Amino acid sequence: MNIRNLLTVSSLCLFISACGTKYITEPPTPVSSPPPLSGEQSAPAEPKPLRPSIEPTATQPPPLPTPSLPAAVSLRDQAKVATAANDYSRAIGLLERALRISPDDPQTFYDLANNHLAMDQPQEALQLARRGLALNPTYAQRQALQKLATRSQALL
């Protein structure tokens, strides 16, 4: 085997061992030491410390937002039309149905809280905004929900 092949094989072995291979954590097998020379006392050998195993970090990325179901999106769209027509009670009814279909949708909570605020119900709007904030909203949804919660809090 020539030098080039030897270097390729050894660098490949080094790469494979560096890619997440765990070290052995079992205790080493005892090796018998040579007999002491005459007149010398043998000192007990200290065990070598084991190399720690390399574990990946325990941090996990935040979960992705849950996509809305099509039926909930349709109800939300109908509620937008009702909101534009100042029919807030109809919009609230549609949005509550959308929440029963897709209960983890921060956008529906925002729309529902916004309609409650338009009907001069800041306490309900604040509660809904807080529930929406607890559902892993996107950055834009989080900003909008926080603004809505601040406006609702100011009206209490």
Q: Tell me the domains of the chain and their CATH numbers.
A: 71-155 (1.25.40.10)
pLDDT of residue 109: 95
Q: What is the DSSP letter of 26?
A: S
Dihedrals phi, psi of 102, to nearest 5 degrees? -130, 85
Dihedrals phi, psi of 89, to nearest 5 degrees? -65, -40
pLDDT per residue as tens digits for the range 34-89: 666 655 555 556 666 555 555 555 555 555 556 778 899 999 999 999 999 999 99
Burial 127-145 (b: 16+ CB within 10 A, else e): bbbbbbbebebeeebbebb
